[in-house]
Amino acid sequence: MGLDMYLYASKYTSPAEWRPEDERKKFNDLLKAIDGEKFVDTDLPSIVVDLKVGYWRKANQIHQWFVDNVQNGEDNCAEYYVDRAKLIELRDLCKLALKDKGKAEELLPTQAGFFFGSTEIDEWYFQDVSLTVEIINKCLEMPDTWTFKYQSSW
């Protein structure tokens, strides 16, 4: 039990006739791979693929940033869309915190909570901040056809 945090990349696809032939083939191959042919809506078939591209455990400073900057202060374990500009903003804050560790608490304050982990600014804190930079850099390499969403569980 505790704070688990997920970042997903999502991509929508359909076999719409205006899409290139290779995209329609990818849709049909994917539909077959997930054994969905008999379940898909034939009037407007589509698939949304979600990839888990990031996972943190009890990185409460990162979670609090998402709550404050993406979730409008609502800490409710719901899914929230995160645009690329917000990912860049978080990554750049993380880089600043890693560069000037004396300002880390000011840049990315910790958040106490039921099983949210330590609120100490220690090696674990900076390990989570470093992991965040890695996750976001990987996400930003993805084509613009992918969108992102954050969700926590506690």
Q: pLDDT tens digits for 86-105?
A: 999 999 999 999 999 999 99
Average pLDDT, the chain: 95
Strand partners, 11: 49
In the predicted model, is pLDDT for residue 153 greater than 90?
yes
From residue 119, alpha-carbon distances to 62, 128, 131 in Å are: 12, 12, 17
- Contact, 132 vs 59, CB < 8 A? yes
What's the pLDDT score for residue 114? 77
In the predicted model, is pLDDT for residue 1 greater than 90?
no
Q: In the block, which residue shows the tokens 């990185």?
A: 59
> pLDDT per residue over 40-82, tens digit each?
998 999 999 999 999 999 999 999 999 999 999 999 999 999 9
Domain residue ranges of the chain, discontinuous segments joined by +: 4-153
